[in-house]
Structure 1
Amino acid sequence: MAIQWYPGHMHKAQKDIRELLPQVDLLIEVLDARIPYSSENPAIEKIRGDKPCIKILSKSDLADPAVTAAWQVHLEQQRGVKTFATTTDEPQKIKQLLELCRRMFPAKDAGVKTINAMIVGIPNVGKSTIINTLADRIIAKTGNEPAVTKSQQRINLGSGIVLFDTPGILWPKIENPNSSYRLAVTGAIKSTAMEYDDVGFYAADYLIKAYPELLKERFQLESIPNTELAFLEVAALRRGALSAGGRINLHKICELLINELRAGTVGRITLETPEMVVQEKIEIAEAQAKKDADAAERKRRFKAGSRNPSESELAAQEANNAKRAPRGSRPPKATKPRKSK
């Protein structure tokens, strides 16, 4: 699924972050604990360089605690990275973030040397709630819809820490198709930019394999069907997600499933593990390498001035000839063009 949603203010925000970065001592990146990899903006990782970074795993009360712990170990293998798991309902724990910031800069005595921190994150990960908690006042707008914050802010948190807030930003092209679905499931993009049926089928397929017991309990089922379609049909009957005439309303049950996942009523669920992501990165790299090799081969043939078709092109030509040939006749065989003397 391709996400077709990249508002203009996000492009400006990314440019502003690049310009402000030289003034910053520390990056604080807010991630969704249910999708730590998919909610991690690759553009931020590229421009961060060697600057220390705290990765906050927000909404950890909605995520699988065992998988969250595994993600913390995985992320802290990166140079200069510390992790901090919390929820938006734990104000005292969120305030511990200030002490963690100071511990990362022991040479800067509190109240003497200022630590300039920049907080970044994709839309709808709870960044604004964290800022308001740290500042002890309402500074940033909060809401369940993504892209609430649209301008940069400078906030003095006390304790010698100044925080630069930035709008939540996605990136123009998401390479991993699974990440697109996960972002949609968790509400990082607006509902108008996604198809509920498509996303619902993805979510159902994953949950059947990863969390069947939670589905059985939530939808009061004795067993879980083997396919996402069969599960959605059974779930629709349980919840009365029907159209006129008693037909299954797939759009309605998909929307219901996604909303319950976002609210955590299905249970504590994480949509990706470090092992899954490592394998997906390998597959994406292999697919890209093949694409680059095919492009290089086409370019080589073009530069050589040869229009000799490849084996796959010859096979396609023969198949096309077979379709065009009259019934009972023998199609002409595709042949390579003769070289000019």
Structure 2
Amino acid sequence: MAKAGRQIREKLKLIDTVIEVIDARVPVASRNPDIAQYTAFKRHIILLNKADLADPVQSERWKAYFEQEEGVDAVLLFNAFDLKDKKKLVETIWKHNPKEKNQLKCLLCGIPNVGKSTVINALIGKKKTQIGNKPGVTKGQQWLTTPDGLMLLDTPGILWPKFEDETIGIHLAWIGSIKDTIFEKENIAGDLMKFLVARYPELVEAQYNITTNGRTVPEVFDAMAISRGLLLRGGDLDYYRACEMLLGDFKNGRIGRITIDECPEA
């Protein structure tokens, strides 16, 4: 990651616009504070990606919050599979072209698994970069050209060296930006279930056909495992599979539209 950061700095003089991609579900946890060094003196667009997986009310609040940040030229809620969102992003990039260049060079940066490569594929109109819902898919930098006259520099996801708050790491494990093997899977799944039952109980109940009212987190896991038939030989409940199911369902948006980081302006 240090090498990737050094390579980005070497190419900054070529860049017109920096597109900072963050996950709309965790706008705080998925934002690398070190990226500020790349956005200084550059046109800066924040892309709240995977907005289709996030709580729409919270997303609008986060959009307004980031629009007040000094040095930010535009903030967009983005779904890489929505053609209207793609068109709006292209228009926004070209709008910030004071020197009236015929071609603009854009740097896409962010932490692992926030969807940078999916965004690039959407802008290009066909698959040019490898994508996957796991960290570390993009291995090196590459320049790619779009039909709209943009040159995009795709970069590997870069994390900062140390999380001051362990909660940041847990939230990133929930969305798949760091390997969940770094933590005990049962622990991070338990933390996720505790959050979901407190903030989005109706989504948990609908997804697993259970009730959460009056139940502790272990009791909710019991109900989930029974509902989904997650049993070991002998009839004991398979908690490991229940944890894997919960983490996978959340990461892939199957539980519903959820935002973990609550906007401080809310």
TM-score with structure 1 setting the length: 0.72
Asked if residue 162 in structure 1 is aligned to residue 144 in structure 2, the reply is: no
| Structure holding more helix per residue | 1
Q: List gaps (5 residues or longer) in structure 2.
A: none
CA shift, 1:47, in A, is 4.2
Give the superposition deviation at 1:166.
0.9
Q: Secondary structure at the match of 2:264?
A: helix
| Residue 181 (str. 1) matches residue 170 (str. 2) | yes
Q: How does 1:117-132 map to 2 (within 5 A)?
A: 117-132=106-121
Q: Secondary structure at the match of 2:106?
A: strand
In the other structure, the counterpart of 2:126 is 137
Residue 151 of structure 1: how far off its partner (Å): 1.0
Local SS of the residue matching 1:245: coil
Match of residue 85 from structure 1? 77
Structure whose alpha-carbon radius of gyration is higher: 1
Q: Percent of counterpart pairs with the same letter?
A: 36
Letter in 1 for 2:48: L
Provide the residue aligned with 1:66 in structure 2: 57
Secondary structure of the equivalent of 1:117? Answer: strand
CA contact (8 A) 2:113 2:176 kept: yes
Structure-2 residue corresponding to 1:310: none
Structure 1 residue 240 corresponds to structure 2 residue 229: yes
Q: How many residues of Structure 1 are paired with residues of Structure 2 in the alignment?
A: 265
What is residue 52 of structure 1 aligned with on the other side? 43
Give SS of 2:19's match. strand
**Using CA pairs below 8 Å that are at least 6 residues apart, which structure has the higher relative contact order?**
2
The partner residue of 1:33 within 24, 28, 35 is 24
Q: Secondary structure at the match of 1:163?
A: strand
Equivalent residue for 1:104? 96
User: Residues of 2 paired with 1:234 and 1:61: CA distance?
Assistant: 28
Q: What are the equivalent positions in structure 2 for 1:259-270 lying under 5 Å apart? A: 259-270=248-259
| Alpha-carbon separation, structure 2, partners of 1:22 and 1:249 | 54
Moved over 4 A (4+): none
2: CA distance, partners of 1:37 / 1:210: 18
Matches within 5 A, 1:280-299: none
CA distance in 1, matches of 2:262, 2:13: 33
Unaligned runs of 5+ residues in structure 1 are: 1-9, 279-341
Per-residue CA deviation, residues 280-302 of structure 1 (Å, 9 max, x unaligned), is xxxxxxxxxxxxxxxxxxxxxxx
Distance 1:70 1:47 in 2: 25
2:161 maps to what in 1?
Answer: 172
- When normalised by structure 2's length, the TM-score is 0.91
Structure 1 position 213 matched with structure 2 position 213: no
